[in-house]
């Protein structure tokens, strides 16, 4: 099942499938380790559409809510 | 090979600065890259007889710039030099992207595999020999924290090699990296350390917010404890027992009532020098910056440096993101605010991390109006605190409410939306004492070099204005506002005049006026709001441009007028 990052549960792990957005945005995420076929784990999500924190390669990244909705992830449910 | 220039390059948060301070001596220079507002640090190291320059290049993920700091990093690469590419060993894959780009650029390269000690408990095993073969350049495991591997790094600098790899596309590079990592790295079970557990707790909202409040509370408590301790046990005795007798003798030599005595020593209160009220260059002029402000500056920057190096601030930024969105900013804008609490100048400089003009304008305006610097805070605590802690709280609470209100309004009024946060949260790392002390020293000497002359100048300036009766003229003009609207005596004008130069000494000038508690609260609040000090103002003009700075200025004047009237009516 493919969902966006905001729909993942804390602690859930999935595989990045697609990132929608401008080249700069995609490239920045790529260089931070978020790119298709990478394993991604949701760490936490903050109240009231706050930032989503995820872990990729041992490293945590905080992504704004709107950006997180443009990152699609495949999860097993 | 003769080495002239060494560039330290790597992703953000790989411990570049720790290695930088291991390689270079005490003398480091922070400067702006020509034509930009991006700062970088440079120093010199010693290899035998040579003293090559070492540049701590702003952290970057790629050589295709996505922000100003990265742009500067790229331009530094174009200028050439030997590159020490610092890699986070716990995050090989992502870090190697920059390495490949540097090799494709044909830079002479040597790799420092930093955070080496961290790999062990994270269950990461890296075959260094094999990585060296794959990359074709020397790879040295290092640990900036303990200094492990630094000597070997220096010894092998000469082995740095150019590779001139053919240019390849993004996906080719990632594919290549995948192969390299697969070949050299083995992952085994990782043991969670105490710090890692804390990492998780401090980023989850339910536990993170209470932890953040606790940390902020403790930080301020410690800052006050150390600050007050230094004042009470060191600086007050120093001034009272050593400096005072000297001044009294000097005063007698100058002669009672002479111009020089008036300027240097100031008014004698009951025939004695009073450091708080005499207002001479050598009395109050020295006492305020050194005995009242410096102790707080010291303790604030000590705690801030520890929190910075621990890696706590990005977490605070993420936790604050929600609140900041309502003010038209994203969470990272809390960094200029926190730095502004130390001194508004670095606070204003830090608005550079914000990319959009709207965001920068809001952050700079809010900070300049509602964030008092540590010098000012110290003076408010010292002066208003004598009337009771409640009144200090009123001043700071007023400023905080102003911050929130103005943010809400500006966010509504200005076109555009709040940008979103996208930031790496580095793992907690034990601060390296050496690096913390170095940073503290740079900030303290910066304060003494910049603030002390301005304070002395300010006191001199006001004394001369008094003598020439110019202050009386200003007081006459501004009486309607001062007395009519704010309920202050007209003599308070001298504090407002000096406030353009320095806020600490300006608050200090309210001391000798025999103000009522209410007047003191109104005076200190208005002084905090109406104008930032001249040094901050210059930075604002540079960062925002004249037009936006004028807008900010008019907002300040209006807000100062209103808040003064309001406090005068309510209290």
pLDDT band of B193, cuts 50, 70, 90:
confident
Q: Which of B151-165, B295-309, B345-359 has the highest mean pLDDT?
A: B295-309
- Taking a C-beta distance cutoff of 8 angstroms, is the pair B21, B438 a contact? yes
Contacts of B348-356 with C-beta under 8 Å, sequence gap 24+, read B348/B532, B348/B536, B348/B539, B348/B540, B348/B543, B349/B37, B349/B39, B349/B539, B349/B543, B351/B543, B352/B37, B352/B38, B352/B68, B352/B543, B354/B329, B354/B419, B355/B67, B355/B68, B355/B419, B356/B416, B356/B419
The answer to which of B181-195, B368-382, B402-416 has the lowest mean pLDDT is B181-195
CB contact under 8 A, B199 and A60: yes
Contact B337, B331 (CB under 8 A): no
Cα B290 to its chain centre, rounded Å, is: 20
Minimal-distance CA residue of chain A relative to B123: A58
Residue B138 has pLDDT above 60, yes or no: yes
Give B317 to chain A, closest Cα distance, Å. Answer: 10
The partner residues of B279 in beta bridges, in order of sequence, read B266
Is B125 strand, coil or helix? strand
Residue B333 has pLDDT above 60, yes or no: yes
Please determine, for residue B1, whether its predicted confidence score (pLDDT) is greater than 70. Answer: no
Report how far residue B288's alpha carbon sits from residue B276's, in angstroms, rounded to the nearest whole number: 8
Give the three-class secondary structure for B269.
Answer: strand
Residue B355 has pLDDT above 80, yes or no: no
**DSSP of B41-96:** EEEE--BTTB--EEEEPPP-S-SS-SSHHHHHHHHHHHH--EEEEEEEGGGHHHHH
Q: Report the pLDDT averaged over residues B135-140.
A: 93
Nearest of B300, B301, B355, B302 to residue B329 by alpha carbon: B355
Per-residue model confidence (pLDDT) at position B233: 95
**b/e code B119-147 from CB counts within 10 Å (16+ = b):** beebebebebeebbebbebbbbbbbbbee
Residue of B nearest to A34 (CA): B94
Distance from CA of B507 to the nearest CA of A (A): 39
A8 min Cα distance to partner chain B (Å): 15
What would the mean pLDDT of B42-48 be, rounded to a whole number?
84
Cβ pair A51:B97 closer than 8 A: no
Share of chain B above pLDDT 90, in %: 33
- From the CB of residue B173, how many other CB atoms can be counted at a distance below 10 Å? 18
Residue A57 has a pLDDT of 78
SS3 category, A39:
strand
* Interface check B61 vs A, CB under 8 A: yes
Residues of B in contact with A28 (CB under 8 A): 61, 66, 422
Residues of B in contact with A48 (CB under 8 A): 322
- Average pLDDT along chain B: 87
Tens digits of residue pLDDT in B67-124: 777 888 888 888 888 999 999 998 888 899 999 999 998 889 999 999 888 887 778 8
* Contacts with B7 (C-beta within 8 Å, 6 or more apart), sequence order: B55, B57, B76, B77, B81, B82, B83, B84
Looking at residue B26, its pLDDT comes to 61
Over residues B260-276, the pLDDT tens digits come to 888 888 888 888 888 88
Joined tokens for residue B322: 């929600």
Q: Is the dihedral of CA B122, B123, B128, B134 positive or negative?
A: negative
The pLDDT value given to residue B33: 64
With beta carbons under 8 A apart, name residues in chain A contacting B424.
32, 59-62
pLDDT in tens, B471-493: 888 888 888 888 888 999 988 88
Q: Span B454-467, mean pLDDT?
A: 85
**Is pLDDT above 60 for B37?**
no
Residue B198 reports pLDDT greater than 80: yes
> Sign of the C-alpha dihedral, residues B224, B230, B235, B241?
positive
What pLDDT does B27 receive?
Answer: 65
Which pLDDT score, from 0 to 100, does residue B395 have? 94
Pick from B108-112, B144-148, B463-467 the range whose average pLDDT is largest: B108-112
Determine the Cα–Cα distance for residues B563 and B560; give it in Å rounded to an integer: 5
Find how far residue B61's CA is from the centre of its chain. 24
**pLDDT digits 0-9 by tens, B210-269:** 999 999 999 989 998 999 899 999 999 999 999 999 999 998 888 877 888 888 888 888
> For residue range B280-299, what is the model confidence (pLDDT) as tens digits?
889 988 988 898 889 988 99
Task: Say how far residue B32 (Cα) sits from the centre of its chain.
Answer: 15
Q: How far is A1 from chain B (nearest CA, A)?
A: 25
Confidence bin at B62 (pLDDT 50/70/90) = confident
Q: Does B321 touch chain A (CB under 8 A)?
A: yes
The average pLDDT across B339-363 equals 87
**Among B92, B72, B97, B69, which Cα is nearest to B169's?**
B97
| B141 pLDDT above the threshold of 90 | yes
pLDDT-derived band at B366, boundaries 50, 70, 90: very high
Spacing of C-alpha B488 from chain mean position: 34
Residue from the list A33, A60, A64 with its beta carbon closest to the beta carbon of B422:
A64
Q: List pLDDT tens digits, range A18-77.
A: 999 887 788 888 878 888 888 899 998 888 888 999 988 778 899 999 899 999 999 988
Cβ–Cβ below 8 Å for A33 and B93: yes
CA distance B169 to B46: 39
Instruction: Report pLDDT for B190.
Output: 64
Confidence tier at A16 by pLDDT (50, 70, 90): very high
Q: Which residue is closest to A50 within chain B, CA to CA? A: B322
- State pTM to two decimals: 0.80
What integer is the mean pLDDT of B38-57? Answer: 84
Rounded to whole angstroms, the Cα distance separating B571 from B558 reads 20
């Amino acid at each position: 099942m493919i969902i966006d990052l905001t729909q993942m549960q804390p602690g859930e792990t999935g595989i990045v499938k697609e990132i929608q957005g401008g080249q700069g945005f995609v490239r920045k995420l790529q260089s931070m380790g978020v790119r298709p076929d990478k394993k991604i784990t949701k760490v936490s999500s903050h109240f009231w559409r706050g930032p989503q924190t995820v872990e990729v390669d041992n490293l945590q990244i905080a992504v704004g809510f709107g950006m997180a909705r443009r990152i699609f992830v495949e999860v097993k449910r | 090979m003769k080495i002239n220039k060494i560039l330290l390059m790597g992703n953000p948060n790989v411990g570049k600065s720790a290695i930088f301070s291991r390689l270079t001596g005490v003398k480091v220079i922070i400067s702006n890259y020509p034509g930009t507002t991006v700062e970088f640090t440079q120093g010199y190291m010693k290899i035998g007889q040579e003293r090559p320059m070492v540049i701590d290049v702003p952290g970057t993920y790629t050589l295709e710039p996505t922000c100003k700091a990265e742009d500067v990093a790229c331009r530094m690469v174009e200028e050439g030099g030997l590159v020490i590419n610092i890699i986070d060993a716990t995050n090989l894959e992502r870090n190697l992207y920059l390495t490949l780009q540097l090799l494709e650029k044909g830079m002479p390269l040597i790799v420092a595999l930093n955070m080496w000690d961290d790999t062990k408990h994270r269950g990461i095993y890296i075959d260094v020999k094999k990585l060296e073969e794959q990359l074709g350049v020397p790879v040295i495991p290092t640990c900036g924290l303990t200094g492990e591997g630094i000597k070997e790094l220096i010894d092998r600098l000469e082995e740095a090699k150019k590779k001139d790899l053919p240019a390849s596309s993004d996906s080719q590079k990632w594919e290549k990296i995948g192969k390299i990592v697969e070949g050299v790295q083995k992952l085994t079970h990782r043991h969670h350390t105490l710090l890692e557990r804390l990492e998780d707790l401090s980023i989850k909202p339910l536990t993170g917010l209470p932890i953040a409040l606790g940390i902020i509370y403790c930080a301020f408590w410690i800052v006050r404890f150390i600050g007050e301790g230094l004042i009470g046990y060191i600086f007050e005795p120093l001034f009272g027992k050593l400096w005072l007798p000297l001044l009294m003798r000097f005063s007698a030599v100058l002669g009672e009532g002479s111009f020089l005595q008036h300027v240097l020593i100031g008014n004698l209160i009951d025939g004695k020098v009073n450091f708080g009220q005499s207002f001479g260059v050598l009395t109050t002029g020295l006492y305020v910056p050194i005995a009242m402000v410096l102790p707080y500056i010291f303790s604030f920057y000590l705690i801030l440096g520890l929190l910075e190096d621990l890696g706590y601030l990005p977490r605070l930024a993420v936790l604050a993101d929600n609140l900041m969105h309502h003010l038209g900013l994203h969470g990272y804008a809390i960094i200029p605010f926190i730095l502004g609490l130390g001194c508004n100048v670095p606070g204003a400089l830090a608005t550079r991390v914000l990319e959009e003009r709207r965001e920068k304008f809001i952050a700079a305006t809010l900070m300049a109006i509602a964030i008092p610097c540590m010098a000012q805070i110290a003076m408010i605590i010292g002066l208003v605190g004598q009337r009771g802690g409640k009144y200090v709280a009123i001043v700071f609470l007023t400023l905080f409410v102003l911050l929130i209100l103005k943010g809400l309004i500006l966010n509504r009024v200005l076109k555009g939306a709040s940008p979103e946060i996208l930031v790496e949260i580095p793992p907690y790392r034990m601060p390296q004492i050496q690096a913390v002390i170095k940073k503290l020293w740079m900030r303290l000497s910066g304060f003494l070099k910049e603030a002390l002359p301005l304070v002395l100048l300010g006191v001199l300036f006001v004394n001369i204005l008094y003598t020439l009766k110019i202050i009386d003229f200003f007081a006459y003009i501004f009486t309607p506002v001062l007395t009519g609207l704010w309920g202050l005596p007209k003599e308070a004008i001298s504090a407002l005049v000096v406030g353009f130069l320095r806020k600490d000494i300006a608050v200090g000038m309210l001391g000798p006026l025999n103000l009522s508690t209410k007047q003191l609260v109104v005076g200190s609040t208005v002084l905090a709001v109406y104008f930032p000090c001249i040094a901050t103002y210059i930075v604002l003009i540079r960062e925002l441009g004249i037009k936006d700075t004028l807008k900010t200025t008019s907002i300040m004047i209006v807000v100062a007028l209103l808040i003064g009237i309001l406090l005068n009516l309510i209290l």
